[in-house]
Structure 1
Amino acid sequence: MRIPASTYRLQITQDFDLDQAAEQIEYLRNLGVDWLYLSPVLQSTEGSQHGYDVVDPTVIDRARGGRDAFDRLCRAAHQAGMGVIVDVVPNHQGVAEPRQNPWWWSLLKEGAGSPHADAFDVDWEAFGGKLMIPVLGDDTDDDGAPVPGQAHQALSDLTVRVEDGEPVLAYWDNLYPLADGTYTLDESGNVAEDASAVHERQHYQLVNWRTGDAALNYRRFFTVTTLAGIRVEDPQVLEESHTEIKRWFGDQLVDGLRIDHPDGLRDPGRYLKDLQGITGGAYVLIEKILEPGEKLPHEWLENGSTAGTTGYDALGTVDRLLVDPAGAYPLTTLEAALRQGSTADGTQEGNWARMIHGTKRAVVDGALHAEVERLAREAAGESALTEFSHDQLVDALSEILANFDVYRTYLPDGVEHLEAALQSAIAQRGDLEPVITQLGPVLGLNALESELTPVARRFQQTSGMVMAKGVEDAAFYRFSRLTSLTEVGGDPSVFALSPADVHAEMQRRHQEEPLAMTTLSTHDTKRSESVRARISVLAEAANDWASTVAYVQKQAAAAGVGPLADRTLANLVLQALAGAWPIERERAVDYALKAAREAQTATAWVDGSEDFEQELTRFVEVVLDEPSVRGAFEGLVRKIEHPGYVNALSQKLVQLTMPGVPDVYQGSELWAPALVDPDNRRPVDYKDLAQRLEAVDTRRDDPGIARAHSVPAVDDSGDAKLLVTSRALRLRRDHAELFTDYTPVAAEGPAADHLFAFNRGGAITLVTRLPLGLAQAGGWAETSVELPEGAWVDELTGGRFEGTVQVAQILDLLPVALLRRA
């Protein structure tokens, strides 16, 4: 197995295709990157900007350059001494445009008799054996307004016609195939029958789009009805869906894979074993979210099925190292006061555990109810459950899912999480104790892997959906105490970690998961690393922040805006603005509206409140445009700006040098103050980056420039972060022998708690933490650190040190240092 020293994530799109990616190899090599890390490249829905909606897994996406461009990129990377890892999507396929997906088209046309019927996870026994397609619009009243849930009028919009020589059923721009023998053609070759009658004879039934949440008989990706679940547990489906991936390894083009959403698979462990055969035992990472204290099944790491996760767990650890625990009380007090003044639904609950129980229960009762209905239908066939009604099973399964504390178990691994969920569900709903108790063994309690029921396996596929939709996409937008902590894979109730806690976690990672990825930003993070770095400073300036929030809300009210129904949402939006400041109006408003719709307290994606959204937009505009408000807000931003840059350098150097394989998300070698997607997928100016890197290197390495002027300032240019990123990446790539151990390095003196340092076996990282408090205390003073025997040189500034050294001397030019033996 070839192992990367580091990776660099590239988002491949039709506007930044595979050939354009190949043009960046020289820059990335100079940056110090070891492997390219590509977003999905298989054929996806036309116009897709992310590639996770694959419609044909047998070819490279033509809009992204196609097979030839992919092969050229991989070979060019190898010629430059770089490896390639590719993001693949085994869990689902895109079905928004049926004609683009040949497997789905065949399924719709031929039903359960299709040669691709086994590819999709369909419950053919439900709904009269027809595949439910939730696409029809609502009925309208006399004024043209939608009548929710009534789709009868929409059926009159169906037509039948011949498209490219094939008869099809059309609903506006949506086209669906017609089964053989279900229609007749007239002399002109047109379908001669009523469209509604033809529709009734098909293997599918078009239903109201709202029906997908309550009555659906195919597995989705979360709540996205245009992404249909794939059954890679079937050997034939696995082979057919991985033919192109197998070619990559047969032709020695690709060196590793990143597996998207393994929690959605029927049997992730078996799939990972199957991949070993397909790839010849290549380096494989899984996009897996671990809750605090949770670990991957030991067998997966032991047998080499995976090297570990893509690093959300590492992200959470690094972020919390830089949070001042003293900020917990005042920020909690602020949030409580804001909740007390809110009138929007769902904002009164400030306890994290109770909040996420409520949001998860709302999800299983609403957006994911169809999945629970399917679980209940399967559970009804178990002999131990025949005495209970369908509604009782639905209610009990919903309560168990709402009490699940991790994304999923991998039974028999993780059975303790199932047991805890069962006990918590009983505590919440004593009236359901008999059915919950009987459900335990059916769901896999104390069962061997070979004894797991189909219900137990499907339950494991479902629990992750509930966590994702109930926590990431709802509660994370309702809990505004410190939003740098409401990040993918994190638990915001864990406010901060001590240096001792972080050292212990680093040592564990070194021993147990040395090849897992570490990351700070991804295409899925709610805020980029630099935005979180600045927001985290608010824990050191909590009282100032509370005053700023109060002033902004008061002035907004004076300007005729608010108070907003959801005042905690206002806090969340203001933190985002502070973290990304200065920010353009369009980006700010887009973020605020997305956050509000995800929170689902005062508005939503479906049937939202136009009045609230207009009020929220005006609130953002007051902050940006009202001179007194903007002035006060910028005053707070100026206070946290430089400490935020210090945090950004500290978190980056720790991530790049800690145990694991560091990933750099495209463009994050600068500040890149991005918010949630699509903001974090904006194009990157690689020409500018290459020029900046050359200038930084020239300045740093010019013997004619004094050391005091050889490194860039810690300012909004971001060049200091580019220096840190490049020097750390190069050292890891070129001197792997310096990163074979992990030993904490302790400081002595009045500011010792503000230094976090460790020795990786010849490379020593030193970073500043809680910089605002450090400055207020007067700086490093007499704080010192004892270096291991010998002379050491700082890769960042060129400084040389040995013995016991003042921290202020080491960190005289930058707030971080990366030492190696001279």
Structure 2
Amino acid sequence: MRIPLSTYRLQITAAFDLAAAEGVLDYVNELGADWLYLSPLLAAEEGSDHGYDVVDHSRIDPVRGGAEALTRLAAAATDAGRGILVDIVPNHMGVATPHRNHWWWNLLQNGPASRYVEAFDVDWAANGDRILLPVLGDDADGRSELDRLEVVGDELHYYDNRFPLAPGTADDGADGRAVHSRQHYELVNWRRADAQLNYRRFFSVNTLAGLRVEVPWVFDESHREIVRWVQDGLVQGLRVDHPDGLADPGGYLDRLRDATDGAYVLVEKILEGDEQLPTGWATAGTTGYDALADFDRLLVDPAGQRALDALEARLQAEAAAPTGDAPPANWADLVHARKRVIADHTLQAEVVRLARLVPATTAAVDPATVDALAELLACFPVYRSYLPVGIDELSHAAAEAARHRPDLVSAISGLLPLLGDPGHPLAVRFQQTSGMVMAKGVEDTAYYRFSRLTSLNEVGADPGEFAVDADEFHRRQQIRLATFPASMTTLSTHDTKRSEDVRARISVLAEIPVEWENTLRTLRAAAPLGDAPFENLLWQAIVGSWPATPERLIAYAEKAAREAGTSTTWTSRNAEFEAAMRGLVTASFDDPAVTQTLSAFVDRVRAAGWSNALSNKLVQLTAPGVPDVYQGTELWDTSLVDPDNRRPVDYDLRRGYLTRVNDGWLPPVDETGAAKLLVTTRALRLRRDHPERFFRHSPVAAFGTAAAHVIAFDRGGAVTVATRLPLGLAAGGGWDDTTVVLSGRPVVDLLTGERHPGGTVSVAALLRRYPVALLVPADGQDSADTADGQDSAEPARTNDLESADHAH
């Protein structure tokens, strides 16, 4: 297995295809990244920018460059000594346009007789041997939309939607409605999906139909092209999207390992709390969400929790008051409530399907069984189990479900033997479903309702955990190094709700919670919405991403509000509320009463946010694991949730800054973000060119007045020193007598080129210019390890938080 030393993620789209990726390979190489990390490449739905809606597994998407472009990129990468990691999607296929997906088209045309009946996860008996397709629009009587169906040749058309006809079913010249009744599918109103859908989907996305890759021929045919990439040396590694949706993730990974001769494989797996990956899986680790959560919490001031908890409680109580409902007591209560709502509504069809697998039930599913299954799903503490691994989580869920619903104890007890049997269809399906309920209930709902400190509301993270101290951080890094040393680490992805630098700024609020509460009160009075927790969440997003554009912020606000579902929803939009919300965003730019308050607070936290961002970046790039840099985040990135985080990247700007840095420029910490590029390139080059300096994780002791503001560790010759809680540091008078204890030999800071004595070293001296330092032994350094010719005797400006030059 060839393992990358670092990766650089590129989103491959029609606008930035494989040829464009080849065009920036020299820049990525010069930046210091080891491998390119590419989003899905297989043919996807027309217009798809993300590529997770694959419609044809046999070919690379022509709009993304096609097979020849990958061959050229792979050759260029090999010539440069780089590798390629590609995202693959085994769990589902795109079915929004059936005529583009031959497998789905054939299934619709031939029903249970189709060759592809094994490929898709359809419960035929649930709808009279017809696949229910929720595509019809609203109408007056709920039936007249069927009159809009037209027979066109051997197809059935509904506006621009095309569906196949079973052979011979239109030969008599019948109208569209009559011909439709003869098909292996039933077109119904889109609102029926959540309660009645009879095929497995990705979460609640009706246009992504689940695949059964546990069937050998389905695996073979859906992976033939992917395996060819690896066997032909075009691709060296694979990133597996959403393995939790598979019937047997461990078995799938074994088959993938055998097919690729043990290539480097990562899984997009969300771990909860102390949960670890199953050790029997054939994978090098996760895609880094777990690491992201640790890095963020290291920069959160635990002293701010009590005040922010109290603020959240008041906002939740205010929101609940008009309805008379009791506000959630804590994060765990909110999660349980939202998961239960998802199980009862959005994913009701999936829960009812589970109930149909209980032997004692009949076509008229027992309501108590459905209720018990929904409660077990709401109480499940992790995304899923992998029986027999995870049986303890099932026991925990049963105990919690019985505590919440004593009236269901008998039904729950009757289900446990089936749910704990790895070979029972109910157990298999339950494992696939629990992750869906978790993702929809937590990431897509609760994250948008819990506003305490929204930098913690990130994919793969637990907002209930507020902060991590240095000792706990070091312990977690040592566990990662000991268990999955080649696991990816990340700060931003195509899935993150807020980019790394937005979160870095928002985390500053924990240092000044009273100031934030006062600011929020003023902002809410100037631009009221009437949804207190959501206002807190939205204003944090505006502060964190400022200066964003009105268009970007309005798009974020609309998505966030509809996901929260408190004042408006995707399916029932509150026009009055959404108009007020857009007015709030506009007021941020146009209303002097708002702009003055907002600008003053952004000025208060901007420098500290930059300090956090530089610390976060250096820690991530040098900590155990394989660090990934998401496209463009080597400069400040103020992106919010997708598709905002897939905006085009200005590589000409980045090339220019990198050239200047290579020529010895030590950029100030300012709005350009060039200081972040300096940190990124120095750390990436060191990891790539001197991997022998990264073999352990040893805490570096700090002493003195501000010791709590230092995070430092030795990776085995490379030492990271970074700043924590910068506003508290400034308020306390700076570094003063604070020191770190290094080895006895002199060191050089690769960021500045400055040399320092070994032993006990002043942190004020180390961090005079930047809030971070990357130290290596000074003896025998070649020019590639230093500041590329930068004169180390140049006077260093102080790392004072009040410095105008560096905004510290």
TM-score range, shorter chain: over 0.9
User: Does 1:443 find its partner at 2:419?
Assistant: yes
Higher mean C-alpha deviation, range 615-624 or range 231-240: 615-624
Could you tell me how far apart the structure 2 residues matched to 1:554 and 1:417 are? 45
Contact 2:122 2:131 in 1 (8 A): yes
* Percent of matched pairs sharing the same residue: 56
Could you tell me how far apart the structure 2 residues matched to 1:768 and 1:60 are? 45
Contact 1:347 1:478 in 2 (8 A): no
Contact 2:419 2:426 in 1 (8 A): yes
In structure 2, the residue matched to 1:368 is 347
- Which amino acid in the other structure matches residue 48 of structure 2? S
User: Does 1:502 find its partner at 2:473?
Assistant: yes
Equivalent position SS for 2:234? coil
User: Does 1:291 find its partner at 2:246?
Assistant: no
User: Does 1:339 find its partner at 2:310?
Assistant: no
User: Does 1:570 find its partner at 2:535?
Assistant: yes
In structure 1, the residue matched to 2:404 is 428
Deviation per CA, 1:300-352: give whole Å up to 9, x if none.
2xxxx101100000000010000000110111111122222225778932411
1:752 alignment partner, one of 697, 707, 715: 707
Contact 1:136 1:206 in 2 (8 A): yes
In structure 2, the residue matched to 1:189 is none
Higher mean C-alpha deviation, range 602-611 or range 258-267: 602-611
User: Does 1:526 find its partner at 2:502?
Assistant: no
In structure 2, the residue matched to 1:514 is 485
1:552-567, aligned counterparts within 5 Å? 552-556=523-527, 562=528, 564-567=529-532
In structure 1, the residue matched to 2:441 is 470
Could you tell me how far apart the structure 2 residues matched to 1:334 and 1:40 are? 42
Could you tell me how far apart the structure 2 residues matched to 1:256 and 1:505 are? 26
Contact 1:108 1:203 in 2 (8 A): yes
Structure-2 change in CA distance of 1:347 and 1:324 (3 Å): farther
In structure 1, the residue matched to 2:683 is 728
Equivalent position SS for 2:273? coil
Contact 1:552 1:623 in 2 (8 A): no
In structure 1, the residue matched to 2:150 is 159
User: Does 1:169 find its partner at 2:167?
Assistant: no
1:412-811, aligned counterparts within 5 Å? 412-444=388-420, 447=421, 449=422, 452-556=423-527, 562=528, 564-700=529-665, 711-801=666-756, 802-811=758-767
User: Does 1:313 find its partner at 2:290?
Assistant: yes
Could you tell me how far apart the structure 2 residues matched to 1:491 and 1:250 are? 39
Q: What RMSD over aligned residues (CA atoms) do the two structures have, in Å?
A: 1.3
1:282 alignment partner, one of 247, 251, 263: 263
Deviation per CA, 1:469-503: give whole Å up to 9, x if none.
00000000000000000100111111001111101
- Which amino acid in the other structure matches residue 685 of structure 1? D
Equivalent position SS for 1:571? helix
2:232 alignment partner, one of 247, 251, 255: 251
In structure 2, the residue matched to 1:91 is 91
Contact 1:356 1:475 in 2 (8 A): yes
- Which amino acid in the other structure matches residue 471 of structure 2? A
Could you tell me how far apart the structure 2 residues matched to 1:532 and 1:355 are? 22
Deviation per CA, 1:483-542: give whole Å up to 9, x if none.
000100111111001111101111111111111000000000000000000000000011
User: Does 1:261 find its partner at 2:242?
Assistant: yes
Equivalent position SS for 1:126? helix
In structure 2, the residue matched to 1:180 is 167
In structure 1, the residue matched to 2:39 is 39
Deviation per CA, 1:581-626: give whole Å up to 9, x if none.
1121111111111110000011000012111111111122222211
In structure 2, the residue matched to 1:391 is 367
Equivalent position SS for 1:296? coil
In structure 2, the residue matched to 1:198 is 179
- Which amino acid in the other structure matches residue 495 of structure 2? D
Structure-2 change in CA distance of 1:59 and 1:347 (3 Å): farther
How big is the shift at 1:390?
1.9
User: Does 1:112 find its partner at 2:89?
Assistant: no
Could you tell me how far apart the structure 1 residues matched to 2:438 and 2:365 are? 26
Contact 1:89 1:259 in 2 (8 A): yes
Could you tell me how far apart the structure 2 residues matched to 1:351 and 1:94 are? 38
Could you tell me how far apart the structure 2 residues matched to 1:288 and 1:368 are? 21
- Which amino acid in the other structure matches residue 674 of structure 1? S
Could you tell me how far apart the structure 2 residues matched to 1:515 and 1:532 are? 25
Q: Which runs of 5+ in 1 are unaligned?
A: 141-149, 186-191, 557-561, 701-710
In structure 2, the residue matched to 1:15 is 15
Higher mean C-alpha deviation, range 407-416 or range 525-534: 407-416
Contact 1:388 1:435 in 2 (8 A): no
Deviation per CA, 1:82-119: give whole Å up to 9, x if none.
00000000000000000000000000001111111111
- Which amino acid in the other structure matches residue 558 of structure 2? L
Higher mean C-alpha deviation, range 530-539 or range 687-696: 687-696
- Which amino acid in the other structure matches residue 624 of structure 1? F
How big is the shift at 1:744?
0.3
In structure 2, the residue matched to 1:147 is none
How big is the shift at 1:803?
2.1
Deviation per CA, 1:218-257: give whole Å up to 9, x if none.
1000000100000000001000100101110121110000
Could you tell me how far apart the structure 1 residues matched to 2:688 and 2:365 are? 61
TM-score (norm 2): 0.95
In structure 2, the residue matched to 1:127 is 127
How big is the shift at 1:171?
0.7
Could you tell me how far apart the structure 1 residues matched to 2:502 and 2:118 are? 45
Higher mean C-alpha deviation, range 341-350 or range 455-464: 341-350
Equivalent position SS for 2:519? helix
Could you tell me how far apart the structure 1 residues matched to 2:339 and 2:401 are? 13
Contact 1:477 1:598 in 2 (8 A): yes
In structure 1, the residue matched to 2:781 is none
Could you tell me how far apart the structure 1 residues matched to 2:600 and 2:736 are? 28
Contact 1:136 1:151 in 2 (8 A): no
Higher mean C-alpha deviation, range 612-621 or range 593-602: 612-621
In structure 1, the residue matched to 2:300 is 323
Aligned length: 775
Contact 2:356 2:362 in 1 (8 A): no
Contact 2:336 2:378 in 1 (8 A): yes
4+ aligned runs moved over 6 Å, structure 1: 344-347, 385-388
Structure-2 change in CA distance of 1:347 and 1:313 (3 Å): farther
1:223-234, aligned counterparts within 5 Å? 223-234=204-215
- Which amino acid in the other structure matches residue 400 of structure 2? S
Contact 2:352 2:365 in 1 (8 A): no
Q: Which runs of 5+ in 2 are unaligned?
A: 779-808
Could you tell me how far apart the structure 2 residues matched to 1:719 and 1:339 are? 40
Contact 1:12 1:64 in 2 (8 A): yes
Deviation per CA, 1:111-157: give whole Å up to 9, x if none.
111111111111112111111101011113xxxxxxxxx53011111
Equivalent position SS for 2:481? helix
- Which amino acid in the other structure matches residue 367 of structure 2? D
How big is the shift at 1:799?
1.1
